A and B are shown apart, each in its own frame.
Chain A
Amino acid sequence: KQEVTQIPAALSVPEGENLVLNCSFTDSAIYNLQWFRQDPGKGLTSLLLIQSSQREQTSGRLNASLDKSSGRSTLYIAASQPGDSATYLCALLRAGNMLTFGGGTRLMVKP
C-alpha cells in the first residue's frame, strides 16, 4: 500500500523567505506526482505535475523535483508571500489512476 508522508505538517515563515516542502513515498511505481494547493474549505488547485520520467518542473516561483529512487519530492517556493499561505498537498498517481495524497503541509507566510 502506497504511503505518502509530508514533512513538516505545518510551517510558519516570514515573508520573503525561500522554503522547501517535502513529500516522501514508499512505492516508486508511480505514473506521476502532483503538487496541489488548498485554501481552507476550498478546492484543490494543481500547481505542478511531474511525470515519472522527469526530474523537475518549474512554474514561476515554484519548483518541484522528483527522485523516484529515493522516494522523495520537494516543492521549492522562492520569495514567499502572504498570499502563498495555504495547505500544500502532494499526490501520487499510480496504477488504477487513483491519486494517493499526503497529509499536507499547512504554510503560513507572515507579512
Chain B
Amino acid sequence: AAGVIQSPRHLIKEKRETATLKCYPIPRHDTVYWYQQGPGQDPQFLISFYEKMQSDKGSIPDRFSAQQFSDYHSELNMSSLELGDSALYFCASSLGSGGGDTQYFGPGTRLTVL
C-alpha cells in the first residue's frame, strides 16, 4: 500500500540558509501534519492543513512557513536556519480532520544545520 513520501530524506544546510521539505500524502488523504523531533526528544507538532487550508498551528517558529497545494502535497519552508533546527521532520497524513482520524507517518527528513 502507498505510504507517505517525504523528500529529501537527508538535507545538510549552513546557518542562515533556507530549506524546503516536501511531503506527499497517502492517495486520497486530504490532511497533512508536520512534526519536528529534535535529538533525543519526542516529536512536537508544528502545523497542519486540511483541504489546502491551515487547520492548526503548534510550536512552529515564525521563520518557518508551510502550505498545502491543490494535489494535497505539502511543503515546509524554513528560512534563516539555526543550529537548533537540526532535527527529524515528519509529515503525516490522514483522511479527514474531524478528530479521531489515524495519522500515518512518513519516514522523515533529517535536517542537519552546520
Residues of A within 8 A of B (CB): 31-32, 34, 36, 41-46, 49, 51-52, 89, 91, 93, 95-104
Contacts and interface: CB of A to CB of B under 8 A. Distances in A.
A96 B42 contact: no
Describe A's contact surface by its main secondary structure.
Answer: strand
Given A44-B43, A101-B44, 17 more contacts: A41-B110, A42-B107, A43-B90, A43-B105, A46-B102, A49-B102, A89-B42, A93-B100, A97-B33, A97-B101, A98-B45, A99-B43, A99-B92, A100-B45, A101-B43, A103-B41, A104-B42
B56 A96 contact: yes
A64 B32 CA distance: 26
A102 to B, nearest CB: 6
B24 interface: no
Interface residues of B, number: 28
The 6 closest A-B pairs by CB, nearest first: A101-B42, A98-B45, A43-B107, A31-B100, A44-B105, A96-B56
A51 B100 contact: yes
Contact of A97 (B35, B41, B97, B108): B97
A103 B97 CA distance: 25
